[in-house]
Chain A
Amino acid sequence: MLVSSHPSPPAQHFAVVARGVEKSFGSLRVLKGVDLIVEYGKVACILGPSGSGKSTFLRCMNHLERIDKGLLQVGGQLVGYRQHAGKLYEMKQSEVARQRADIGMVFQSFNLFPHMTVLQNIIEAPVGVKRLDKQQAIDEAMELLAKVGLTAKAASYPRTLSGGQQQRVAIARALAMKPKLMLFDEPTSALDPELVGEVLNVMRELASDGMTMIVVTHELGFAREVGDMVVFMDGGVVVEQGSPSELFTNTKSNRAKAFLSKVL
């Protein structure tokens, strides 16, 4: 990693600071120097064509992928590394796990644990990782289920739920760890059109509660309405970013214009 060329920002105020983040899979360069700053309490929506590196960037934020170069801080801490005496030390698995516990992630394909009920899915990490008292975890899980409108499904297995319901459970499961940041990777792309709304509603509510969110999405309506900032990625870099009104009505780059004209 290369840090010296970048002056360290006062990162504590920022949920995410990325500077010159690079990532390759073998010879394929996927991220070619991504710069992004997301403030706490804000919702950032990442748009961009397929293969532009949106998912990879999001996955770097909780160390599901390792960055090759650049600086990536979440909550003021380097992701996956400890800085000590001018050197970067790769973190132990347990330290990485502790970092991840503060970052919630929602996947396109839900990834609920099929051998557990909805309630078990939600309390698994609070009880197993945070050592929360089981009854308290259950109480909190039921509150979260009420919030996503699925109280009646607590004892159901994921396979008996619709896609929209599964994704709402996945959001509740991530929230149960009381994360400071929520990452969403195309949370509605796998859903039938009539189920998209119920998931977006939950996310909208979460945003109005003040949750810091980074959302990779193709839902331009959601980005325009809920997003505090919109980030357009293409070819492994951030091409353009700004407030939704700026980016949608006053698009500067040709690449963003071309993409938006295709999607709208």
Chain B
Amino acid sequence: MPVVPLRHYGRWLAAAALLVVLGGLVVSMITNPRFKWDIVFQYLLDDAIISGLLMTIWLTIAAMAIGIVLGTVIALMRISENRVLASVASGYLWVFRGTPLLVQLIFWFNLSALYPQITIGFPFGPSFGNFDANQYITVYVAALLGLGLNEGAYMSEIVRSGLNSVPVGQREAAQALGMSSFRVMWRIILPQAMRVIIPPTGNQLIGMLKTTSLVSVIAMQELLYSAQLIYSANFQTIPLLIVASIWYLVLTTVLSIGQYFLERHFGRSDRRTAIAASEDSADGSAENARVA
């Protein structure tokens, strides 16, 4: 007997309506002369825009690098048995996740108002040197500090969940073989934690790319600020914002494609671990229980 599939008239109607709206939008974007596509294309490869773009890429990489290193250190401090280390790490998290990044950035930028002189040394003790904050806390340093320290807080949670995903039995087996704690971490725990750490780190990277636009408020010449500088002179606000958006889209698209392959790779090993884990639980082993 022939099968007559259910006809989803409602969905077809909604889809058609959506197409009409989108079509209208596209037509208006092309025909509305105020979009000034000629200016968009004129500035797309402008020197100032390209150098802003390169600064955005560099800031993203540098801030993520700071965030990953710092996040790993904070995560290790948080799981430390030393109360002071653990509390300091928790306090760090509390401050940097509890205040807006924008506020942190402006704060770093104005640090020289708070501490005109920065002295490296012990409190009330000997000092090693004096720095003029105005000279050293440049826009660039403020931007890196702001983005990197904030990212460190978020990365530490990702690293911590990765470390916690490794069964305790792995640590014990490595210790029983006589490995030092550093070696246990470096050779046994971290490589296994990577499976859990890498996919969300990809998300953070894409987020960071867009978040760097915030440093335009402290006059750091990245992509958005470069566009702003141009339109404040020629008043072509919308075309230049479109230029910046096009570049952000290009970069996030590239990163998303990279992330797709990364997640497919790690997703595959996740499926394998899922099978291994179910085998483990089937044999009723308590030793493989995951630490919360």
Task: Report which residue of B170, B176, B280 has the largest number of chain A beta carbons within 10 angstroms of its beta carbon.
Answer: B176
Cβ contacts under 8 Å, B273 to chain A: 114
A111 and B173 form a contact (CB under 8 A): yes
B189 to chain A, nearest CB (A): 10
Once A103-B176, A129-B183 are accepted as A-B contacts, the answer to whether A114 and B192 lie under 8 Å apart by CB is yes
Q: How many residues of A contact B (CB 8 A)?
A: 34
B288 and A109 form a contact (CB under 8 A): yes
A107 to B283, CA, bound (A): 13
Within 8 A of A (CB), among B265-291: 272-273, 275-276, 279-280, 283-288
B175 and A64 form a contact (CB under 8 A): yes
A177 and B177 form a contact (CB under 8 A): yes
A111 and B172 form a contact (CB under 8 A): yes
Within 8 A of B (CB), among A142-192: 159, 163, 170, 173-174, 177, 190-191
B4 to chain A, nearest CB (A): 47
CB within 8 A of A124: which of B169, B181, B187? B187
Proximity bits, A103-120, B CB within 8 Å = 1, else 0: 111011101111100000
CB within 8 A of B272: which of A64, A159, A170? A159
CB within 8 A of B191: which of A64, A109, A115, A159? A115
Task: Report which residue of A94, A102, A111 has the largest number of chain B beta carbons within 10 angstroms of its beta carbon.
Answer: A111
Q: Which residue of A lies closest to B280 (CB)?
A: A109
A194 to chain B, nearest CB (A): 13
Q: A101 at interface (Cβ–Cβ under 8 A)?
A: yes
Once A109-B287, A113-B170, A114-B276 are accepted as A-B contacts, the answer to whether A125 and B192 lie under 8 Å apart by CB is no
Cβ contacts under 8 Å, A128 to chain B: 179, 183, 187
Cβ contacts under 8 Å, A174 to chain B: 176-177
A64 to B192, CA, bound (A): 21
Cβ contacts under 8 Å, B280 to chain A: 109
Q: How many residues of B contact A (CB 8 A)?
A: 30
Q: B188 at interface (Cβ–Cβ under 8 A)?
A: yes
A93 and B177 form a contact (CB under 8 A): no
A64 to B286, CA, bound (A): 16
A174 to B177, CA, bound (A): 7
Cβ contacts under 8 Å, A2 to chain B: none
Q: A212 at interface (Cβ–Cβ under 8 A)?
A: no
Once A114-B192, A190-B285 are accepted as A-B contacts, the answer to whether A107 and B172 lie under 8 Å apart by CB is yes
A229 to B283, CA, bound (A): 29
Q: B234 at interface (Cβ–Cβ under 8 A)?
A: no
Q: Which residue of B lies closest to A124 (CB)?
A: B187
B254 to chain A, nearest CB (A): 29
Q: List 20 A-B contacts (CB under 8 A).
A: A64-B172, A64-B175, A99-B178, A100-B178, A104-B176, A107-B169, A108-B285, A109-B288, A111-B173, A111-B288, A113-B170, A115-B192, A125-B177, A125-B178, A125-B179, A129-B177, A129-B178, A159-B272, A159-B276, A174-B176
User: Which A residues contact B (CB, under 8 angstroms)?
Assistant: 62, 64, 93-94, 97-105, 107-109, 111-115, 124-125, 128-130, 159, 163, 170, 173-174, 177, 190-191
User: Which B residues contact A (CB, under 8 angstroms)?
Assistant: 167, 169-170, 172-181, 183, 187-188, 191-192, 272-273, 275-276, 279-280, 283-288
